[in-house]
């Protein structure tokens, strides 16, 4: 059995996200997970993030870490879901997307922001850089989210074989496609 006792892990933000998204799409609290709005307005808002430019503003002392980043079309942003309250981080099972039509599943089976450690990751298109500010599209984080790390996205580093997902996730993807 693996020993899971570790010293405290301390993360220090390397920057902050600046954009027009002020509230999360999903709300997590002691009652569970729910959508802030109906599915159609939420999908429309997500679609806008695909086109809207967000800024990832890094601490000035990290400028050298960005050398060469401009050569990538896409990057991964790891950030802290600071809008998830402590009680939302205690959830064990949720209905995906807060929809009771989907099965109640363990939190780690979902992409929910409500996690014991609300570390989220997303792949975004890098459209430009000014000093320590990266201009990106496709960022679904809310304004003010602390940035934990940035990595280049290299598709070939990920499994190329067939990816298997549950039926309820396929239904979510179909619903999103239908409303786009």
pLDDT (tens place) for every residue of the chain, 180 residues total: 566 677 788 899 999 999 988 887 778 888 888 777 676 666 666 666 677 899 999 999 999 999 999 999 999 999 999 988 888 889 999 988 888 889 999 999 998 888 999 999 999 999 999 999 999 999 989 999 999 999 999 988 877 788 889 999 998 888 777 765
| Every domain of the chain and the residues it spans | 15-154
| Domain 15-154 listed as CATH 2.60.120.330 | no
Calculate the dihedral angle through the C-alpha atoms of 172, 175, 176, 179, rounding to the nearest 10 degrees: -170
Which of the 8 DSSP states describes residue 171?
A: H
Contact status, residue 109 vs residue 166, Cβ threshold 8 Å = yes
Contact status, residue 7 vs residue 70, Cβ threshold 8 Å = no
Global pTM? Answer: 0.85
Q: Which of 109, 123, 116, 179 has its CA nearest to residue 151? A: 123
């Amino acid at each position: 059995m693996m020993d899971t006792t570790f010293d405290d892990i301390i993360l220090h933000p390397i920057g902050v996200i600046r954009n027009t998204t002020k509230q999360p799409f999903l709300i997590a609290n002691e009652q569970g997970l729910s959508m802030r709005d109906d599915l159609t307005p939420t999908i429309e808002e997500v679609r806008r993030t695909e086109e809207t430019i967000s800024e990832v503003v890094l601490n000035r002392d990290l400028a050298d870490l960005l050398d060469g980043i401009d050569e990538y079309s896409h990057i991964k942003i790891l950030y802290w879901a600071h809008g998830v309250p402590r009680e939302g981080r205690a959830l064990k099972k949720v209905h995906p997307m807060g929809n009771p039509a989907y099965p109640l599943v363990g939190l780690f089976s979902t992409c929910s922001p409500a996690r014991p450690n609300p570390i989220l990751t997303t792949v975004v298109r890098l459209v430009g850089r000014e000093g320590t500010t990266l201009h990106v599209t496709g960022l679904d984080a809310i304004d003010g989210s602390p940035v934990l790390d940035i990595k280049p996205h290299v598709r070939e580093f990920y499994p190329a074989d067939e990816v298997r997902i549950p039926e309820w996730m396929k239904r979510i993807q179909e619903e999103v496609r239908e409303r786009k």
